[in-house]
Amino acid sequence: SQIAGNIVADNFDKVTRMRKRRHSSINSFIGVMYGISAGLAFALSISYSILNFISSIFNTFPHKFINDLGVFVGQPPNTMFIVEFFIVVILFMHAFVAGTALKVGDGGKLIHGLHHFIGIVWLISITIVGTNVIVSHLLF
């Protein structure tokens, strides 16, 4: 009985250490996913702001002058909404996939990944608004 008790105690200790390592790695994974989400939102937001700035510059030129140059870099105003829509769709899909991946890595039910999805959406929203405020003061 002493040997069986030692085996059970060793196994319990191993399981406890393994759970602590998994919890630690999941917390690191959560930080990485939130950081990637903020970085992606910042990169797409700054790219959209620069595209909008360049488009506004080229839209002030007369079309004859632009045609004489032979290069048209600016986007028509009606396509800027489509670009913005695609950025939002990409970021929402990323938030959904990241929230699902976090919950799969954690080992819980997938429906409980919604709180990560909502947290990532808020992080993305705050990052985009902050980036737009900063860029609007710098560029315009």
pLDDT higher than threshold 70 for residue 123: yes
d(CA 40, CA 82): 19
Segment 13-41 mean pLDDT:
86
Q: What angle do CA 70, 45, 94 make, to 5 degrees?
A: 120
- Measured from the Cβ of residue 123, the count of other Cβ atoms closer than 10 Å reads 16
Residue 4 has what pLDDT? 82
pLDDT at 89: 96
Question: Whole-model pTM?
Answer: 0.77
| Residue 64 or residue 78, greater confidence | 78
What's the CA gap between 36 and 16, in Å, rounded?
A: 30
At residue 111, does pLDDT exceed 70? yes
Q: Show me where the domains of the chain are located.
A: 2-139
Considering the chain, what is the average pLDDT of its residues? 85
- State the helix-helix crossing angle for 2-60 and 114-139, rounded to 10 degrees: 30
